[in-house]
Amino acid sequence: MNKSELIEALAAQKGLSYKKAEEIINTIFDSMTEAMLAGERIEIRGFGSFVVNEYKAYTGRNPKTGEAIPVKPKKLPFFKVGKELKERVAG
């Protein structure tokens, strides 16, 4: 399922216009993005949690040449699936 399919599903289930459903989905995603940018953890019970993992700088290697390459520090979003969702998917 992609974003437009999610919008269509919301519109169909709740009897909303596509524009209104799109506005709702965009608000949710924007709020989640802003929270993660602020370093906050997002937890949706029964679904999972989103956190931002910070990685320090390190020296990596070019696999072709073996040359040492400095890798800059970075922050990446990470999703951890919740127990209930994991059980439902597993059957």
Domain 41-90 has CATH 3.40.50.300: no
Q: Is the pLDDT of residue 77 over 90?
A: yes
* Angle of CA points 38, 43, 45, to nearest 5°: 165
Model pLDDT, residue 49: 97
Q: Rounded to an integer, what distance in angstroms lies between the CA atom of residue 63 and that of residue 67? A: 8
Predicted pLDDT of residue 31: 97
Q: Is the pTM of this model over 0.95?
A: no
Place 22 in a pLDDT band, splitting at 50, 70 and 90. very high
Contact in structure between 59 and 70 (CB atoms under 8 Å) = yes
* Residue given tokens 């995603």 in the structure block: 29
- Which of helix, strand or coil describes residue 24? helix
Give how far the C-alpha of residue 47 lies from the chain's centroid of Cα atoms, to the nearest Å. Answer: 12
Is the pLDDT at 91 greater than 90? The verdict is no
Look at residues 31, 30, 51 and name the one whose alpha carbon lies nearest to residue 40: 51
Domain extents in the chain: 1-39, 41-90
